[in-house]
Amino acid sequence: MNKVLSNRKVIALFVIPALILFTGLVVVPVLWSFYYSLYKGTPGLNWKFTGLTNYRKLFIDAKFHAALMVTIEYILMTMLGMVILGLLLSLIYRFWLDRFKNIVKTITFFPVVLPTVAVGQLFKKIYEIQPYYGLLNSLLAALGRQDLIQPWIGQQSTALKCLSIMDIWVSLGFYAVIFYGGLLDISEDVIEAAKIDGCNSWQLFTRVLLPLLRPVTITCLVFAFAGTVKMFESAMALTGGGPASATTSLSMYMYNVAFEYRNYGYGSAVAIVIFLICIIGTQIIKRFDVKEND
């Protein structure tokens, strides 16, 4: 094996095809978007070089600022919800479920493979208030909490939270399975030794399991961050970006500017900002992956 890995031709054979795909699918589109961001208008129609004007416009664009704040709030709620609840669900898989474990894992993973449009329609019915109460408002009515019945996705104060809950529900099984794989890699001897030393459940979790799950946690945080910063399909399916602009993310704003208003240059500038947020956010998360010998 070492002889194969030391052969440069073999390494090139494995690396070059992936490098070509990465360059064509990631590097070239990013460079192309940056090139477009230096222009104004539509290619072939009022296409004018403006330099960094589009980027200066970002600082005074109130709609961009609103979309940025929506994106940040959504990332914080959804990313933490996905990872924390996924970890808790994996602990249930590992330590509390003896019977029907595979059935429960299948049921909780099933939302991951559902089409986004189908999930959006499902949650529209759950949050519905007219012409009939949806599941949530029906439960509140049955419990006698008429004061809590409201148009959950029809008002700005709750729409983004409802969207976040939907996306957490969809992705929960995915992160639970990843954490469960990490828990299975932890030797039973380590857990038994901690119990013999007098660790209670909380100490076992915080002082043994969490440190050993750190690489898995970092991976899940990166996945969750990269997915939430590009939020588009779920919001389009559930709220369409409304009410008003309460659930309009940067990706949706970019789409509206580029494809509805035909301002591809400014839309490309927004896309570059999203790309930079992905890079910076991922690097910040990876900073927490401190090696033991550091």
pLDDT at 294: 43
Ranges of the chain whose pLDDT falls below 50: 292-294
Query: Structure tokens of 21?
Result: 């795909």
pLDDT at 5: 54
Element (H, E) at 117: helix 116-127
DSSP 63: H
Total-model pTM: 0.90
Q: Is there a contact between 150 and 158 (Cβ–Cβ < 8 Å)?
A: yes
Query: Structure tokens of 193?
Result: 């030794």
pLDDT tens figures, 102-125: 888 889 999 999 999 999 999 999
C-alpha neighbours within 13 Å on the C-beta side of residue 229? 19
The amino acid that residue 144 corresponds to is: G
Q: Is 142 domain-assigned?
A: no
Tally of domains in the chain:
1
Q: Is 281 domain-assigned?
A: yes
pLDDT at 236: 94
Q: Residue 115, preceding bond cis, omega within 30 degrees?
A: no
CA distances to 28, 121, 178, 223, 282 from 166, rounded to whole Å, are 34, 11, 20, 17, 24
pLDDT at 6: 60
Q: Is 43 domain-assigned?
A: no
Q: Is 74 domain-assigned?
A: yes
Domain encompassing residue 105:
61-114+168-286
Q: Is 98 domain-assigned?
A: yes
Q: Is 161 domain-assigned?
A: no
Q: Is 162 domain-assigned?
A: no
pLDDT at 3: 58
Query: Left, alpha or beta for 209 (phi > 0: left; psi -120 to 50: alpha)?
Result: alpha
pLDDT at 12: 77
Q: Is 242 domain-assigned?
A: yes
- What's the CA gap between 163 and 120, in Å, rounded? 9
Q: Which CATH number is 86's domain given?
A: 1.10.3720.10
